[in-house]
Structure formats: C-alpha cells, structure tokens
C-alpha cells in the first residue's frame, strides 16, 4: 500500500492562542487543506466537481490532540481515504512534526452530495474514479 498523500504546513503565529499553542479550530483548517490538496493533485478541481454536479460534504469529524504545536513548527498533514460499500467514506489524517512526533489525528466521515437533488450519491468511489486523473491517490 502506498504512503498516504501528505502536504507540508508551517504553523503561523496568528493561528496560535494565548498559551502559544495552535488554536484547536485551525487543526480542522489544516486537515481541510490537505484534503483539497489531494483532490488537486489527483486532477479534481472545485470547478470540475461543480461541473459534474457534486460536492464533497463532511458528515462527522473527530480530532485527537496528541502534542502541542507552536508558531514556526513545520508539520506534514497526511490524507488517506478508506472506502465502504455505501454512500460514505472515511478519511484518516495525521498531523506530524517533522521529527515524527504525532500532534493530532483527524478522522472524518464524508460523502459526495448531488447538488441538484441535495442527497448523497450512491457510490462516491465511482465518481472519484471518473473525475480523477490519478485515482491511486484515493486508494482506488
């Protein structure tokens, strides 16, 4: 199995709280950034999704904070899709310092919404396969 997709993010000072830690909400931004970066790397733009009449939706997100991140820390944010037989998929992500220290784990459940019907598409895997220039990035 290939390594999960990864994107590097540096913690910026304005993202920290009064203790100097990365603000808890920003972890979600980093996870979202990695997901959109994976889509882009696979050849799927927002315009392409909208043109196909679908959009990704988050149904559930869990963050487990493991170690603090401070301004200037460089991190690698991974993104790995896990597929089921239904309308949803799971995305597992890790935020790690460059020395390998696990700072946070993010697990999300998502789907693809049919923008006209406002309902989840039956098989999001097939849509990702159809749209992606490189479906291997999605584990397909």
Task: Give the pLDDT confidence score for residue 3 in this predicted structure.
Answer: 84
Residue 1 has pLDDT above 70, yes or no: no
CA-to-CA distance for 118 and 31, rounded, in angstroms? 24
CA-to-CA distance for 127 and 140, rounded, in angstroms? 11
Neighbours of 38 (CB within 10 A): 24
Nearest to 17 by CA among 8, 9, 27, 30: 27
pLDDT digits (tens, 9 = 90+) for 62-114: 999 999 999 999 999 999 999 988 999 999 999 999 999 999 999 999 999 99
pTM as predicted:
0.94
């Amino acid at each position: 199995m290939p390594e999960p997709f990864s994107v590097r993010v540096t913690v910026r000072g304005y993202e920290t709280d009064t203790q100097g830690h990365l603000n808890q909400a920003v972890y979600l931004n980093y996870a979202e950034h990695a997901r959109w970066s994976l889509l882009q790397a696979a050849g799927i733009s927002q315009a392409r999704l909208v043109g196909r009449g679908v959009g990704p939706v988050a149904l559930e997100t869990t963050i487990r904070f493991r170690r603090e991140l401070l301004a200037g820390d460089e991190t690698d944010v991974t993104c790995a899709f896990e597929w089921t037989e239904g309308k949803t998929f799971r995305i597992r992500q890790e935020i790690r310092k460059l020395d390998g220290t696990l700072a946070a784990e993010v697990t999300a459940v998502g789907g693809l919404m049919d923008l006209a019907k406002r309902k989840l598409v039956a098989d999001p895997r097939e849509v990702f396969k159809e749209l992606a220039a490189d479906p291997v990035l999605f584990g397909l």
